[in-house]
Amino acid sequence: MLTEKLTADKADAARSSRLKTFLDSDLVYDFLHSPVALISALVLVAIAMSAALAPLLSPQNPYDLTQLYLDKAELPPIWTADGEAPYLLGTDVQGRDIFSAILYGSRISLMIGFAGVIMAATIGVLVGLIAGYIGGWIDNFLMRVGDLVLSIPTLLVAILVSAIFRHLLPISLRDAFTPVILIISISVTSWVQYARLVRASAMVEARKEYVLAARVLRVSSARIMLSHILPNVMTPVLVTATLNLGLAILAEATLSFLGVGMPATQPSLGTLIRIGNQYFFSGSWWVVLFPALQLSLIILAVNLLGDWLRDALNPKLH
Amino acid sequence: MNRFLRFSVAAAALAAATVSASAENVMRWGSQRDILSLDPYSYGSSFTISVLNHVYEGLVRYDDKLQIAPALAESWEVVSPTLWRFHLRKGVTFHNGDSFSADDVIASLTRVSDPASPLRGNLPAYKGAKKIDDYTVEITTTPNYPLLLNDLTNIVMLDKKWLVANHAEAPTDAGKGVEGYATTHANGTGPFKVVSRRPDAETVFEANKAWWDKPRHNIDKIVFTPITSSATRVAALLSGEIDFTNEAPLQDIPRLKATPDIKILASNELRTAFFLFNRKDKLVASDVTDKNPLNDVKVRQAMYEALDLDALQKKVMRGLSRATGSMVAPAIPGYTEAMDQRPNYDPEGAKKLLAEAGYPDGFSFSLVCDNDSYVNEEEICQAATAMWARVGLKADLDVGPTSLQTAKFESGKFDVGILGWANEPMIDSYSILVQVAHSKTGTSGVFNWGSWSYPEVDGLIDAAGQELDRTKRLALQSEALLKVKSDFAFMPLHQQPMVWATGPKVESMVQLSDNKPRLWMARMK
Amino acid sequence: MLAIVIRRLGNAALVMLVVAFVAFVIFQFLGDPVQLMLNEQASAAEREALRMRLGLDQPVIMQFFSFVLHALQGDFGVSYRNQQDVIMLIAERFPATFELVMVATVLALGIGIPLGVLAAINPRSLAARATRLISMVGVSVPAFVVGIVLILIFSVELNWLPAFGRGDVVHIGRWSTGLLTPSGRIALIMPAISLALFQISFITRLVTAEMLEVLRTDYIKFARARGLSDRAVNFHHALKNCLMPVVTMTGMMIGDLIAFALVTETVFQWPGMGLLFVQAVTFIDIPVMAAYLMIVSFIFVTLNTIVDLIYVLVDPRLRHGMAGGARAH
């Protein structure tokens, strides 16, 4: 019952806040007059669209093993002498079309990144609201847990969580559940930031008169938190989330590069780089170079956008 | 002494050290993996043993034509069908100065046949040993066992006094929860001695000046470095940081060949890579749960016909392997041409066979592969997964390091797996028959991971194990191999290539088909 | 004051206890040491004997207690893979990682601070914009991509720098250093750069942001009004004021770098403890994983605690009550 209400209220709050943010004319003006932000957004939209439409755009489904043919293995990009249509950016040693693999890989990377950030933000916001609004020993306990999580290097936690879960899962489930494991291992370490942020605001808001008034009117705590306090903290949460998206995508790529992430049968960009890394001496530079470029481009665009958003919303800079 | 003077003296000393260092012949050897231990009896890994062969020697050894030659034993005779007598070489000393005698042989044989020794399967016919005098030893075997000398090439001799003094009489057992002295220290009779070892980083050997044999090599020092990443290993060779690698990645051969001063030594080795089946009543990870589809010969045939071995040979193995239908290489006694016949690549036929067997939509199973045992192993397994997918079979690929995967194989936790068999050190098809094809009984069938059982084949193998007439013995072995083949008990893929590469400082290197580096036969410029 | 110090130390101890518990759970339950340590042929009696010897028949709380007791003495058991004392394995590798991280930190500060100041002094200049963009690229391009590109250019194409390893090292007692030999120093260049790139960019951005804030304060405006030179104002007054966050971030950054070094160590086959850990992960070598987790966390927690305490010492406002929100994450 309560959770139902929570989600409904939260969605309400998020919608109204997003609308408000968008209509904030300063922000729109700023965006249209910042070439960096514009270009980054365009790049990101293009990448996201192409990733979403991957099944339509790519000549091959790289996850469908029946479409991989060994006799098409290691073809160079199409503009070189030995290139062959439709393999625009060449193929890898299993006959996987690099262009298709990049589109599908970007999809996985973006999906895990987004899901990781959303999960971390959701956990963090809830924990922060509860800790900040209720206070007392609950606050103390939750913040201690947060301190604890931050006391272990995040990469280490992610590697351990990912490696151990994968080890424990039966083989037939392993590949299917790897994205979920990755999302968990990314969000398990990054919710604290949101929690601290929201907690601080919640503590301030909780003492304000309108909240006291609402309390006097016996409005439920959950309602106060979600419809009064949450909208006020949404903007910094959004900025943090954008800035963290780059980190989340990087984390997934790093885990896959180290071999504890996405498997070779469902490669993400990090996996493609790991595979390509074995072949670049032999002259198959395209297997490693294009995925590396795409990954760097995604993270760069996300970071530039997040940076701009933070500056644009930072009143001190105006 | 004033500071300046002290400094210049130090500089001069340093300069002298550098000069002598450059005058030394240092062979820097980059390998894909590290040796697992300095204890030659702690892991059944041929690679570890082949590296430790530089330090430790057996009673007999292979010469540069792969013929059995005397080493720590000068001569031997067969006294009776169950008794061999060995006359030991006199004047041999261990690296610590202890002299080598019959006591050391007895201690070593006792140690290698200890129940905790993973190498005891390499000496299947061994019953016991007895010291006659300081330089004579008698070994008892099962009757008429023909291959004792071949087995002994791999059984190296340790110093009894040293073992006793360091409480290392038994092989290192991880279960005891203690470090074994011999894991980190070595004391052999061989051409090189261990100077230092940092696991996964560097192991340094230096020439043993007191070696009993006249050295052919001119190497003063070997620096052995594991470089896991193949790309890094190639980079190291190209930039001159290593002089030799025994595992040059196939994909980098053209580039290495195009580089002046880099020499490639490539040929087919004796090792055959093949897939094997779990033949128990049920599979480990399949959507067929009431029975084991792999027990149906039609299914096994279909899986073999679905594999495009020529594409595998051409692309994954870069044309360097020898695609085969045989479980043993042509150079292995027992091989016949009939074994090399293999069904054509026929995905349609495979589908039909699967339908006949009652699996028109295929089924799923686990495919367990290592990533560090055989040449391009992970790529082979990925390619096989794709080929099987085309006939409706879903292989769940489980790739991991050998140490993890071996545990799965040994406990039967796999459905289809990969194995490579070189018939080393025996260099006879009896090796694969008794260790792989035979049912698990006594010392036989140590690698019978899938619990297959062919009583008729067992009978042939047992008969061969007591047959001293070579022709008759090989006929029995060939028959056994063909029987196994006709039932599609295994899926032979290829004899794998071996590719070594040497840098400008290396003058010559002896590469034999057992793919074991023997740097005591190498020369540097 | 003393109360705060004691509380911080108590916190650190508590954190380590929880980390130890996580390591213990990994060690004792996920690994099933009996299964892993005995071979197939082992009999039920042998299994039971090993179970007893490892103390697995004791209540869990006693097992944990003995695990912590052993860990405090540096006893993390024997590596499953190469059967060596885990703490010795890690101790052997520590100098390599430590050297790499230290050089990377020096690079990050030495390049990051001047660049950051430069970008802040004249934020609209071309140089400042370029610095900002480049530093953005620096935090965006993954370290392993940087490593691969560096190897491709400087090892494969130009053949200037070694692609792997530490070069020659000199042993001083138990410590090994590559800084004293030419090949050791050369080998350090690419790994250090690829590890430091993120931090260089990070410090640049941090210094720029802090400087921009400080430069807007009345204190600086007043200094300028007093007719002090731009140089004196920028470097003496302004920079000094934003060094505190840089110092704290550097303290915490070192902990992160030690963990992050494992990626760089993998790319360059740098024989540090990160590479040991990555190999342990692929081999599920539980004792090494557990020990690495505890040791890196210990370094991390120690550094954080020191940074916190320095903060408390420097900033009197934090001495009362507000300590909880002091750490900049």
**A276 touches A92 (CB < 8 A):** yes
| pLDDT tops 80 at residue B148 | yes
Give pLDDT tens digits for B415-453.
999 999 988 878 899 989 988 999 988 778 878 989 999
At A31, the amino acid letter reads F
Residue in A70, A277, A282 nearest the CB of B315: A70
Tokens of B89: 């070489």
Q: Would you call B314 and A74 a contact, using CB atoms and an 8 Å cutoff?
A: no
**Residues, chain B:** 525
Q: What is the pLDDT of residue C30?
A: 60
Instruction: Tokens for B300, please give them.
Output: 């096994």
Q: Cβ of A92 under 8 Å from any chain B Cβ?
A: no
First to last CA, chain C: 23
What 3-state class would DSSP assign to B376? coil
Is the Cβ–Cβ distance between A276 and A256 less than 8 Å? no
pLDDT score for C315: 63
Band (pLDDT 50/70/90 cuts) for residue A117 is: very high
Which three-class secondary structure state does DSSP give residue B444? strand
C87/C73 Cα distance (integer angstroms): 10
What is the Cα–Cα distance from A211 to A218, expressed in whole angstroms?
11
- What would the pLDDT profile of C123-136 be if each residue is shown by its tens digit? 778 888 888 888 88
Residue in A with minimal Cα distance to B312:
A70
Q: Averaged over C144-153, what is the pLDDT? A: 87
**pLDDT, tens digit, 9 for 90 and up, residues B398-410:** 888 777 787 788 7
Give per-residue pLDDT as tens, C13-33. Answer: 888 888 888 888 776 666 555
B335 pLDDT tier (thresholds 50, 70, 90): very high
Query: A-chain residues within 8 Å CB-CB of B399?
Result: 264
The tokens describing A6, both together, are 């929570």
Provide the 8-state DSSP code for C240. Answer: H
Token code pair at residue C30: 């996920």
Residue A222 pLDDT > 90, yes or no?
Answer: no
pLDDT at B219: 94
C225: contact with A, CB 8 A cutoff: no
Residue with tokens 């590396």: A292
pLDDT at C169: 76
Identify whether the C-beta of residue B514 lies closer than 8 Å to the C-beta of residue B426.
no
Classify residue B89 by its DSSP letter.
Answer: P
pTM tops 0.90: no
Q: What is the mean pLDDT of residues A224-233?
A: 77
C-alpha–C-alpha distance, residues B150 and B69, integer Å: 10
Report yes or no: C108 and C257 within 8 Å, Cβ to Cβ.
no
Instruction: Give the residue, B272 or A58, on which the prediction is more confident.
Output: B272
Which of A10-19, C46-55, C231-240 is least confident? A10-19
| Chain A neighbors of B312, CB-CB under 8 A | 70
Which segment, A116-120, B171-175, C247-251, is predicted with the most confidence on average? A116-120
- Shortest distance between the Cα of A4 and any Cα of chain C, in A, equals 33
Which is more confidently placed, C55 or B377?
B377
Does residue A25 have a pLDDT over 70?
no
Q: A137: distance to nearest CA of chain C, Å?
A: 14
**Residue in chain B nearest A274 by alpha carbon:** B229
Distance in angstroms (rounded) separating the CA atoms of residues B76 and B63: 17
Give me the long-range contacts of C170-176 (CB less than 8 A, separation at least 24): C174/C91, C175/C95, C176/C92, C176/C95, C176/C96
- Chain C nearest CA to A123, separation (Å): 17
Calculate how close chain C gets to B201, using CA atoms only, in Å: 6
To the nearest whole percent, how much of chain B has pLDDT over 70? 93
How far is Cα B59 from Cα B152, in angstroms, rounded to an integer?
7
Do C37 and B180 make contact, defined as CB atoms within 8 angstroms?
no
Of A228, A197, A198, A226, the closest CA to residue A211 belongs to A228
- Give percent above pLDDT 90 in chain A: 21
Give the pLDDT band (50/70/90) at residue A279. confident
Alpha-carbon dihedral angle through residues B73, B78, B80, B81, given to the nearest 10 degrees: 100
**Residue A3 above 50 pLDDT?**
no
Residue with tokens 């606050």: A139
Tell me, what's the ipTM? 0.80
Report the first-to-last Cα separation within chain A, whole angstroms: 44
Max distance between CA atoms of chain C, in angstroms, equals: 88
Helix, strand, or coil (residue B408): helix
Q: What is the pLDDT of residue A203?
A: 81
Does C275 reach chain B within 8 Å, measured CB to CB? Answer: yes
Across chain B, mean pLDDT equals 87
Q: List b or e across B226-258, with b for residues whose CB sees 16 or more CB atoms inside 10 angstroms.
A: bbbbbbbbbbbbbbebbbbbbbbbbbbbebbee
Q: List the chains bordering chain A where 3 or more Cβ pairs fall under 8 Å.
A: B, C
> Tell me, what's the pLDDT at A1?
40
Nearest-angstrom CA–CA distance, B282 and C102: 56
| Phi–psi pair at C193, nearest 5 degrees | -65, -45
Cβ neighbours, 10 Å, residue A228:
17
Q: Measured between CB atoms, which of C145, C259, C284 is closest to A292?
A: C145
Contact A300 C136 (CB under 8 A): yes
Question: Residue A256 is which amino acid?
Answer: S
Give CA–CA dist A74/A287, Å, rounded. 8
Which chains form contacts with chain C, at 3 or more CB pairs under 8 Å? A, B
**Residue in B229, B371, B398 to test binding to C, most C beta-carbons within 10 Å:** B229
| Lowest pLDDT segment from A96-100, B45-49, B310-314, C291-295 | B45-49
- What was the pLDDT predicted at B416? 95
DSSP C235-300: IIIIHHHHHHHHHHHHHHHHHHHHHHHHHHHHHHT--SHHHHHHHHHHHT-HHHHHHHHHHHHHHH
Residue appearing with tokens 């070779």:
A264
Neighbours of A226 (CB within 10 A): 24
